[in-house]
């Protein structure tokens, strides 16, 4: 007779269930509240949004580093569409997985969508008021100042060498005066960084030799 095979033990290797997935680093509801606040207070577009992300996630809660925010901007600049929501989707995915990214995006978009409906309703009445033009000019000036402060905070830990300063200034000049696509600027800057900033093989060998006991 053929011997009967016993079912694998629940404590054996064959019976063990796969290890559960690691929980997200940040709870989904926490991400939702953070990005609901950012979406409700980010008046002025990308500059204000980046400033709030830097304050809430980097400075205040230390969930991200300035380098990670810069990395998100670099990657999303290569994609079509609005950079702000794309960067938020990337960063929230990094913090909370797919669920965190979906909740953060919905929370971020909800306040602006609601305000857009309300503003569209009263658009005809408000455009006739003479105080609207100067108010918009003042808001624009404030947003430019916030954007400059955000650029300073993001650039300070990443732009330290003469070559990186040169790449940054060249990218600014090309975008400001030639109007070349930002995606092409990002790709070109990455290639320049790979060529000019990568350590030579001799320097790498010397560093490895110095690290040996």
The string of pLDDT tens digits covering residues 85-127 is 888 888 989 898 898 889 999 999 998 889 888 877 776 666 6
Closest CA to 38 of 25, 56, 62, 65: 56
pLDDT of residue 11: 45
* 83-121 helix and 66-76 helix, angle to the nearest 10 degrees: 80
| Mean pLDDT on 186-198 | 82
pTM over 0.75: no
**What span, in angstroms and rounded, lies between the C-alpha atoms of 71 and 168?**
15
| Mean pLDDT on 145-162 | 81
Domain extents in the chain: 24-121+136-152, 159-213
Does pLDDT of 21 surpass 50?
no
pLDDT of residue 17: 46
pLDDT of residue 133: 67
Q: Give φ, ψ of 17 to 5 degrees.
A: -80, 155
């Amino acid at each position: 007779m053929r011997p009967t095979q016993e079912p694998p033990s629940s404590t054996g290797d064959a019976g063990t269930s796969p290890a559960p997935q690691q929980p997200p680093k940040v709870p989904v509801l926490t991400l939702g509240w953070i990005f609901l606040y950012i979406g409700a207070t980010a008046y002025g577009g990308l500059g204000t949004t980046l400033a709030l992300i830097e304050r809430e996630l980097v400075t205040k809660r230390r969930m991200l580093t300035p380098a990670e925010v810069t990395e998100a901007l670099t990657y999303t600049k290569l994609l079509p569409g609005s950079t702000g929501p794309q960067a938020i989707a990337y960063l929230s995915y990094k913090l909370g997985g797919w669920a965190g990214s979906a909740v953060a995006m919905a929370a971020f978009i909800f306040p602006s969508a609601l305000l857009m409906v309300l503003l569209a309703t009263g658009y005809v009445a408000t455009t006739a008021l003479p105080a609207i033009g100067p108010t918009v000019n003042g808001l624009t000036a404030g947003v430019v100042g916030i954007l400059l402060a955000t650029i300073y905070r993001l650039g300070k830990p990443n732009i330290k060498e003469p070559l990186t300063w040169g790449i940054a200034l060249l990218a600014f000049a090309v975008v400001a005066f030639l109007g070349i696509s930002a995606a092409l600027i990002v790709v070109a800057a990455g290639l320049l960084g790979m060529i000019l900033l990568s350590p030579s093989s001799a320097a790498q060998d010397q560093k490895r030799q110095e690290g040996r006991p």
